[in-house]
Amino acid sequence: MSKARQGIYAAAITPFQEDGSVDQAKLVAYCRHLLTEGGCDGVAPTGTTGEGTSVAMTDRLALPAAFAEAGFAPDQVIFGTGAPSAQDCVALTRAACEAGFVNVLVLPPYYYKSPSDDGVFAYYANLVDKVGRDDLRIYLYHFPQMSAVPLSTALVTRLREAFGPVIAGLKDSSGDFAQSRAFVEATGGVAAGFDVYPSSEAFLWDGLDIGTAGIISGSTNLFGALAQKARRAPAGPARDAAMQAVSAARGVASKYPLMAAMKTATAWRTGDDGWLRMAPPLVPLSAEMKAAFRADLDALNVTADPVS
């Protein structure tokens, strides 16, 4: 089966070397951590939290082969391959597929604002046609706050009807649970083979109850194990307590620039300040923010100390 497994995904942060290139070995090791001690079912590299649109094309094209060489299961990785250029998107998606990773997360073309549904449909149709693989699985990426190109439910159902299982699901980063519900209702959700992933673990159980497939979140870089505990908890007080912990953790994450906060926590956990590097125009947390973030993590009783 080519489709990505369902569950808890981390939109993985990206480590950069001093020259601004991606540290492939460190990213591979980090994603292995997310799938083990990090508590996640899958990883989504080169997405928004991974600063994917700031990563050089040469690095993005090379990463799938590095993950394949490291032995990652194809159904545990969803590479971000969206780009303003339709042909760059095709090249990135081909590189992922050729390495064995046929599940891809694809932003709409995000330079031209307010394109028509016909135009956005043509972008995704071009991708399906040019890649030309029946096992390709595209996860549409709805993030209107960043892309300024929202995906309407009408467009999503049109793509699904045109290309069937190749349009495998959708990540909803709107932050609006009503929007996630609308996508589920329009497509049938997991019962109809369409996997909707809200972007906040605070929506985990409410989403599962209406037919979502799990979550793909930036804050699960740090809180994946908490989310997994909530996912596995039996109904009742144990689940309620677990979800309260998840919601509190998500609340802390939302107070800070997310990518910088997740990199700071990872630098603390590993003792490696190289994790603090960010691709311009993003910058690390200020000293004041770091102190406040550490205090918030201590209050949550979440460990971010160097590994022994």
DSSP for 78-111, written as a single string: -EE---SSHHHHHHHHHHHHHTT--EEEEPPP-S
List, for residues 186-218, the tens digit of each pLDDT value. Answer: 999 999 999 999 999 999 999 999 999 999 999
Q: Of the residues 14, 48, 212, 264, which is catalytic? A: 48
**Distances in Å between the alpha carbon of 40 and those of 43, 152, 217, 218?**
7, 29, 10, 12
State yes or no: pLDDT of 140 exceeds 70: yes
3-state secondary structure of 64: helix
Average pLDDT over residues 9-27: 98
Annotated active-site residue in 171, 229, 263, 290: 171
User: Using one digit for the tens of pLDDT, what is the confidence trace for 45-79?
Assistant: 999 999 999 999 999 999 999 999 999 999 999 99
Report the mean per-residue pLDDT for the chain: 95
Please tell me the least confidently modeled range out of 83-92, 109-118, 141-150, 298-307: 298-307
Query: Widest CA span of the chain, in angstroms?
Result: 54
DSSP 3-state percent helix, strand, coil across the chain (nearest 5): 55, 10, 35
Is 171 a catalytic site residue? yes
One-character DSSP codes across 173-232: -SS-HHHHHHHHHHH-GGGGT-EEEES-GGGHHHHHHHT--EEEESTHHHHHHHHHHHHH
In percent, how much of the chain has pLDDT > 70? Answer: 97
Query: What token pair was written down for 52?
Result: 């994917």
The answer to whether the CB of 209 falls within 8 A of the CB of 235 is no
pTM of the model as a whole:
0.95
- Specify whether the CB–CB gap between 219 and 249 falls below 8 A: yes
266 is catalytic: no
pLDDT, tens digit (0-9, with 9 covering 90-100), for 87-128: 999 999 999 999 999 999 999 999 999 999 999 999 999 999
Mark whether 123 is an active-site residue: no
Per-residue pLDDT at 302: 63
Model confidence band, residue 303 (pLDDT cutoffs 50, 70, 90): low
Single out the catalytic residue among 139, 141, 197, 256. Answer: 141
Closest by alpha carbon to 80, among 60, 109, 110?
A: 60
Whether 48 is a known active-site residue: answer yes
